Amino acid sequence: MILAKPEFHALLQATHASPHAALGMHPHTRGKGAGVVVRAFVRGAAECAVVDPATADAWPMKRLADEGFFEVFISKRPKVFRYQLRVTRANGELHQFFDPYAFLPTLGAQDLYLFNEGTEHRVYDKLGAHPRVIDGVPGVSFAVWAPAAKQVSLVGNFNHWDTRYHPMRSLGVSGVWELFVPGLGEGELYKYAVRDQGGHVRLKSDPYGTYFEAPPNNASVVCETRHFQWHDDQWMEQRRAAAGRPDRPVSIYEVHLGSWRRKPEDAHRPLSYREVGPLLADYVTEMGFTHVEFLPLAEHPFDGSWGYQVTGFYAPTHRFGRPEDFAWLVDYLHQRGIGVILDWVPAHFPRDSFALAEFDGTHLYEHADPRLGAHMDWGTLIFNYGRNEVRCFLLANALAWLERYHLDGLRVDAVASMLYLDYSRAEGQWIPNKHGGRENLEAIDFLRQVNDLVHRYHPGVLMIAEESTSFPGVTKPTAEGGLGFDYKWNMGWMHDTLRYFGKESVYRKWHQNDLTFGMLYQYAEQFVTVFSHDEVVHGKGSLLYKMGAWHIAEKAANLRALLAHMWMWPGKKLLFMGGEFGQSREWNHDASLDWHLCQYPDHEGLRLLVRDLNRLYTGDPVLSRNDFNPQAFRWISCQDADSGVLAYVRTDAAEPTCYLVIGHFTGATRTYRIGAPLAGKWRELINTNSEYYAGTGLGNEGARTTEDIPCDGQAQSFQVNLAPFATVIFKWVQ
C-alpha cells in the first residue's frame, strides 16, 4: 500500500477532510520509475481496474479493504491522464464510469470570494446541486457551505446513504465543500453528511436545494429548474414598462393554495399547480382582481405552519407538483393577465434537525446568542444578517424566485420582527445595537439591499412589507434613507376598522375615531389596505362573523358596507380568500373553502359586490392614480358619530372626476342631507343595500341632483336615503 495508513483509515472511517488529495490519480515516483498512482473507494466492488478510454489499456487495482478500497501504481505513465474505473460487482455485474475524484473544482476563486464577501447575487447557480457537463462528461456538481465542519460527505440512493463513499473536497478558507459526481442526473435523492468538530454527523438537506421529497425523509432531489419554456413575454414586457409607477391599480386576492379548492371526489385532496391554474385564473378574472398572492410555497415540513416555517428556501413545495409545474402555473396566470406575488420569509427559520439549524455543528445561519438568534413568538431561529454568507444566501434567494419563476412581487413576512432587536422581548432578553438603540441595523441594511437588488435586476417587480409599527420610511427609496419597499400593509387601518365594525351598532358612536384616525398617517407610506389570512385564524373567527350583529343578514350587510368603504379608501387592496363571499367558519388550512355558501343570497351578494368594486377600482385610473395623493382625498362628514355617518370624496386634479362615498353604520334608516363639492347630478354607482347584493333595495333612484343648500362646509348638497349598514358610492356626472 502506497497510501499512508492514517490517511487510509481516515478514508475508511469517513473522517478525511481532503479526499481528492488521496483518491483519484496522482503523479508518483516509485523507486527509480515515475508513474501515477490511482486510488478508488467504491461501494460493493469485488474488483476494480483503471481503464484508459483512448487506448483501452487496463490496469487491475489491488483491493486493500473489503469495503471496496483499491490502489494501483501505473509505471511509465508519468503524467495524469483521462481515465475510467471498471468495477465488477459481487454479483458479476460490470460497470465502467468516470471517477468523481478526477475532476477539478466546479467553483473558481472569484465565485468563492464573492460568496464570502456576500455579493455573489447568483450564488444559487454555484452552490447546491446542478446537472452539468464537465470535459464532455455529464454529471451533477454539489457544493455546500459548512465552514466549521470537520468533514462532509455526499449521501444518497446512489451510495446507499453510506457516508464513506463520496467524501467532499474542502475549498479552503471559503468554508465550501464540493464534489462533482459523473453519471448522476435529475431525480437523485441526496443529503449532506456533515461531521462536526466533535465527530457527530448530521444529515442535512441542501440549503440551496431546488426540490425535496415529502416528510419524514425530506431528502433533497436533484432538479434542473431551467427546462420550462415560458410563454409570457408580453406580460414581462408590460411589467417592465410599469416599473416606477406605484399608481397602477393593484387589487390582490390572497390565496392559500392547499385550501382554496379541494377535490372532494378524491378524498378531498388539494389541487395540483396545474389543476388549480385554470380554475383560479377563471375566478380571479371574473372577480376583477389584478394579482394573486400565494401564502409561502417554499418547501416546509409542517402543513400547519401554512408555509411560514421554511426548510427549503429555494424550492417550490412538493405538495402540489414539481418546480416546472409551479412555473407552469405562473406562466398560465400571466397569459391570463394576472400577476403573481409570493409570500417570502427571510425573518426566521424552524429548528428542524435536517435543515439550517446548527448546520455544521455551530450556529451557522443563526445567531449563537438566543437574545439575538431565537424568535420568542414562533419558537424559530433568526438569521444572522451580519454574516456575509447568510446575507448572500437570502439576497440570492429573493432573486432566484424572480428569475426562475417570473414572480411579479414578494410580500416580505414579519418585517417588524426584523427591524427591532426587542421585538416581543422583555427587558434583559435583548441586546442593544452598537449605538445603544433597539433597531436591528444589520437587518435594516439587508432589507435595503434586497429591495435595491430586486428593483435593479427585475424592474416592475413589487416589494411589499408586512410591517405593523411606525418605523419611518418603509416605502421611501433607499437613496432617501428609506427601506425601499414599494408598498406596506396598512395594519393600523385594519385593526382600527375591524374594532369599530366588531361592536354592536349602538356602541359605535363612541368609537368614530377608529374610522378617522387612519387618515392622520395615511399618506406617510404607500399603503396596501388589507384584510389578510391573519385576521381569520387562531380563534379570531371569519371576517363575516367579526361583524357586530346578531343574525347573518345583518352581518352580511355590515360586511358589504365595510368592503365598499375599504375599496374606496386610498391605497391598494388585498383580501384573503373566502372574505369575498363571507365564509362563515374560521379558515381551516386542511379543508376547502365553503363554496357551497354562494348558493345563498347573503353570500353571493357579497361576492357580486366585491366583483363590482374591483371593476370600479380597476376601470377608472382616477382611483389608483391617486391612491397616494393626499390632495385627492377630502372629508365631507366625519364628525356625525351619533348618526354613524362617514363621508368623503376621491377626486383628481387632472380631470373633473369626483366620487362621493357615504358610509352609514347604524341600524336606523335615514334620509340624510350631505354636502357635495360639485353642483349638478350625482349618479349612484354602487349601493351595498341593493337587492342585487341581497340588501333590502332602499336606494336613491339611481341619482341625486344638488340643491343650493349649504351643508358640511359645501355650497350645495342633496338628500340621500341611507339604509341600515350601507355604503353608497356616487359619481359626479355634470
In SS3 terms, 545-572 reads as HHCCCCCHHHHHHHHHHHHHHHHHCCCE
3-state secondary structure of 516: helix
Pick the CATH number of 109-221 from 3.90.1150.10, 2.60.40.10, 3.40.50.12280, 1.10.3720.10: 2.60.40.10
- Separation between Cα atoms, residue 390 and residue 449, nearest integer Å: 13
Which residue's entry shows cell 441586546? 431
Point out the least confidently predicted range of 1-10, 347-356, 565-574: 1-10
Say what the pLDDT of residue 244 is.
Answer: 87
Q: In what order do the strands lie in the sheet with 633-637?
A: 633-637, 645-651, 658-664, 726-732, 681-687, 703-705
Choose the CATH number for 631-732 among 2.60.40.1180, 3.40.50.300, 1.20.1050.10, 3.20.20.70: 2.60.40.1180
Residue 35 zone, left/alpha/beta (φ > 0; ψ -120 to 50; rest): beta
Is the pLDDT score of 655 beyond 70? yes
Which pLDDT score, from 0 to 100, does residue 17 have?
Answer: 87
pLDDT beyond 90 at 90: no
Grid coordinates in use for 543? 371576517
Average pLDDT on 339-347 reads: 98
712 — alpha (psi -120 to 50), left (phi > 0) or beta? left
Between these two residues, 726 and 538, which has the higher pLDDT value?
726
Q: What is the mean pLDDT of residues 579-585?
A: 97
4 by Cβ neighbours in 10 Å (0-12 / 13-18 / 19+) ranks as exposed
Which cell numbers in the block locate residue 281? 385564473
Q: What is the pLDDT of residue 30?
A: 80
3-class secondary-structure state, position 620: coil
pLDDT band at 40 (very low <50, low <70, confident <90, very high): very high
Instruction: Return the residue matching grid coordinates 344638488.
Output: 706
What pLDDT was estimated at residue 33? 82
Looking at residue 520, its pLDDT comes to 96
Cα distance between residue 512 and residue 500, in whole Å: 8
Q: Which of 598, 619, 604, 568 is nearest to 690 (CA)?
A: 604
In the prediction, which pLDDT does 653 show? 81
Of residues 516, 504, 528, the one with CA closest to residue 411: 528
What average pLDDT does this structure show over 49-76?
Answer: 94
Beta strands in 591-680 (DSSP E): 633-637, 645-651, 658-664, 670-676
Q: What local confidence, expressed as pLDDT, does residue 32 receive? A: 67
Q: Do domains 109-221 and 251-292+316-340+376-411+429-623 have the same CATH topology?
A: no
Which fold would CATH assign to domain 5-102?
Immunoglobulin-like (2.60.40)
Residues 647/636, Cβ–Cβ less than 8 Å: yes
Distance CA(224)–CA(497), nearest Å, equals 47
Q: How far apart are CA 170 and CA 173, in angstroms?
A: 8
298 exposed, middle or buried (CB, 10 Å; 0-12, 13-18, 19+)? buried
Measured between alpha carbons, how far is 432 from 419 in angstroms, rounded to an integer? 12
* pLDDT in the model for residue 3: 87
d(CA 219, CA 204): 8
- What is the mean pLDDT of the segment spanning 660-685? 97
Question: What pLDDT is recorded for position 49?
Answer: 97
Please give the Cα distance from 253 to 293 (Å, whole number): 6
Q: What is the pLDDT of residues 260-309, one digit of tens each?
A: 999 999 999 999 999 999 999 999 999 999 999 999 999 999 999 999 99
What one-character DSSP code corresponds to residue 510? Answer: G
CA nearest to 280, candidates 319, 230, 344, 330 = 330
**Is residue 250's pLDDT more than 80?**
yes
How many other C-beta atoms are found inside a 10 Å radius of the C-beta of residue 169? 23
Cα gap 361→257, rounded to integer Å: 35
Distance CA 632, CA 617 (A): 15
Give the domain ranges of the chain.
5-102, 109-221, 251-292+316-340+376-411+429-623, 631-732
User: Are 50 and 58 in contact, with CB atoms under 8 Å apart?
Assistant: yes
Could you read off the pLDDT of 633-647 as tens digits, one per residue?
A: 999 999 999 999 999
Which grid cell is 186? 435529475
Active site members: 413, 466
- Listed in sequence order, the residues at least 6 apart from 556 whose beta carbon sits closer than 8 Å to its beta carbon are 544, 582, 602, 603, 605, 606, 694
- Is residue 622 pLDDT above 80, yes or no? yes
Residue 224, C-beta contacts closer than 8 angstroms, at least 6 positions apart: 130, 131, 186, 210
pLDDT exceeds cutoff 90 at 31: no
Q: How many CB atoms lie within 10 A of CB 237?
A: 11
Average pLDDT, the chain: 96
* H/E run at residue 235: helix 233-241
Helix/strand number for the chain, H first, E second: 15, 36
Residue 494: what pLDDT?
Answer: 97
C-alpha cell belonging to residue 106: 466546479
CATH fold label, 251-292+316-340+376-411+429-623: TIM Barrel (3.20.20)
Give the tens place of pLDDT for each residue, 357-386.
999 999 999 999 999 999 988 999 999 999
**pLDDT of 63 strictly over 90:** yes
Q: How far is CA 155 from CA 177, 181, 221, 254, in A?
A: 14, 11, 12, 39
What share of the chain has pLDDT > 90, as a percent?
Answer: 95
Q: What percent of the chain has pLDDT over 70?
A: 100
In the structure, what pLDDT confidence band is assigned to residue 471 with cuts at 50, 70 and 90? very high
* pLDDT score, position 247: 85
